[in-house]
Amino acid sequence: MISTRALTKDFVVNRKTTVHAVRGISLDIGPGELVAVLGPNGAGKTTTMRMLTTLITPTSGTATVAGHDVVSEAAQVRRHIGYVGQGNGAAHTQLVGDELCVQGRIYGLDRKTARQRSDELLAALDLADLGNRKVTDLSGGQRRRLDVAIGLVHAPSLLFLDEPSTGLDPQNRANLWAHILRMRAESDMTVVLTTHYLDEADTMAERVVIVDHGEVIADDTPTALKAKLAGDRIVASGAGRALAPIAAALPGARDLAVTDGGIEVRVNDGPSALPELVHAAGGLLRTAEVHRPTLDDVFLALTGRNLRENS
Ligand SMILES: Nc1ncnc2c1ncn2[C@@H]1O[C@H](COP(=O)(O)OP(=O)(O)OP(=O)(O)O)[C@@H](O)[C@H]1O
């Protein structure tokens, strides 16, 4: 569905400054995949998405989307994709239903089909009662759902979402996700999204592409990324100094730290290392628990930096 090779974008700011926003990204995304592109501010996520949606042209490298080249066949690419950009579009005083219809007409739907499709989408996205409201009167969550409806009006086989849930409260985020996942299940649509929310990428995406400084630094399922790169952390309280050599002997033990009240150690498989620690440490141990890794741990392991600090 998407194939990029050494995709690169430089922005020439002035004679002395060129920003290397995307530095040679090669990526293949198959039909029906749900992929989250994750990375700190300025990593190059939006720039990549804008190249794939034909909004800007690459400096070098190639990209095909739905079988068409993003530069030489931009019009064909656009026909196959939906794009929901960051934030809300221009403030429209149009009615919600009309706005959606107009967007459908722009994509070449006849009046009747546009109306039908817009009614379907308003119902699917819980906006049916709001068809006669002005777009400007919608709440943030409703407006974001309308943005998604607009991205879907021409029934694209591929949907790009740039930070779809930024600024929404947890309930609206969950609600938006429920809609996106349901529509994807119904149409087998490919979905590529960028997000700052680690938990969102972790729970919703089947595949996570981590981008940093314009390059892909990891690409796998969230589970595999966490298992491969981060491991589990065991946090134990008790006689720290005496516990340290025992913890160091656990299978795969690394990053051992003696803390005020005990130790912390990283292992590959926490649930199986914990009983070993309990058995070997006996009375030296007061409490012990396993912390499963997060995608933030993955980013830290890869870059030595914290994703949240950057975003
Ligand atoms: N039109 C532009 N002119 C100059 N520099 C740009 C332009 N657009 C983006 N950049 C720069 O390119 C780099 C990548 O930006 P991009 O918006 O792709 O990052 P991002 O990962 O999407 O960040 P965020 O999470 O903040 O949206 C940044 O350093 C940004 O300042």
Please write the tens of the pLDDT for every residue from 193-244. 998 788 888 888 899 999 999 999 999 999 899 887 778 899 999 887 889 9
CA 84 to ligand 1 centroid distance, Å: 17
Show the ligand 1 pocket: residues with CB < 6 angstroms. 11, 13, 19, 21, 39, 41-47
Q: How does residue 246 score in pLDDT terms, banded at 50, 70 and 90?
A: very high
CA 229 to ligand 1 centroid distance, Å: 27
CA 218 to ligand 1 centroid distance, Å: 20
Q: What is the pLDDT of residue 310?
A: 47
CA 163 to ligand 1 centroid distance, Å: 14
Mean pLDDT of 257-272: 90
Q: What is the rounded distance in angstroms from the CA atom of residue 138 to the CA atom of residue 38?
A: 29
Please write the tens of the pLDDT for every residue from 24-75. 999 999 999 999 999 888 899 999 999 999 999 999 999 999 999 999 999 9
Mean pLDDT of 288-306: 86
CA 47 to ligand 1 centroid distance, Å: 6
Distances (CA, A) of 56 to 14, 83, 102, 190, 199: 18, 13, 24, 21, 30
State the distance between the two ends of the chain, measured CA to CA, in whole angstroms: 29
Cβ–Cβ under 8 Å, residues 128 and 86: no
Across 196-205, 254-263, 278-287, least confident range? 196-205
The atom number, within ligand 1, closest to the CA of 56 reads 1
The atom number, within ligand 1, closest to the CA of 9 reads 12
Phi, psi of 249 (to 5 degrees): -90, -5
Q: What is the pLDDT of residue 11?
A: 96
3-class state of residue 206 by DSSP: coil
Q: What is the pLDDT of residue 145?
A: 84
Q: What is the pLDDT of residue 89?
A: 57
Q: What is the pLDDT of residue 308?
A: 65
Q: How does residue 176 score in pLDDT terms, banded at 50, 70 and 90?
A: confident
Cβ–Cβ under 8 Å, residues 251 and 268: yes
Which of 47, 196, 310 best tests ligand 1's pocket when mutated (most atoms within 8 Å of CB)? 47
Cα 143 from chain centroid (whole Å) = 20
Q: Where is 302: in which H helix or E strand?
A: helix 295-303
Q: Which residue has the higher pLDDT, 158 or 93?
A: 158
Distances (CA, A) of 287 to 242, 262, 264: 15, 9, 12
Q: What is the rounded distance in angstroms from the CA atom of residue 58 to the CA atom of residue 265?
A: 44
Residue identifier of the C-alpha nearest atom 25 of ligand 1: 41
Highest mean pLDDT among 67-76, 132-141, 301-310: 67-76
Closest by CA to 307, choosing from 227, 230, 239, 220, is 230
Residue identifier of the C-alpha nearest atom 29 of ligand 1: 42
Residues with Cβ within 8 Å of 158's Cβ and at least 6 positions away in sequence, in order, are 1, 2, 65, 66, 80, 81, 82, 189, 190, 191, 192
Residue identifier of the C-alpha nearest atom 30 of ligand 1: 42
Q: Among residues of the chain, what percentage have pLDDT more than 90?
A: 44
- The yes-or-no verdict on residue 287 having pLDDT over 50 is yes
Which of 15, 17, 45 best tests ligand 1's pocket when mutated (most atoms within 8 Å of CB)? 45
Q: Which residue has the higher pLDDT, 145 or 290?
A: 290
Please write the tens of the pLDDT for every residue from 82-98. 888 876 554 567 888 88
The atom number, within ligand 1, closest to the CA of 46 reads 22
Specify the DSSP class assigned to residue 163. S
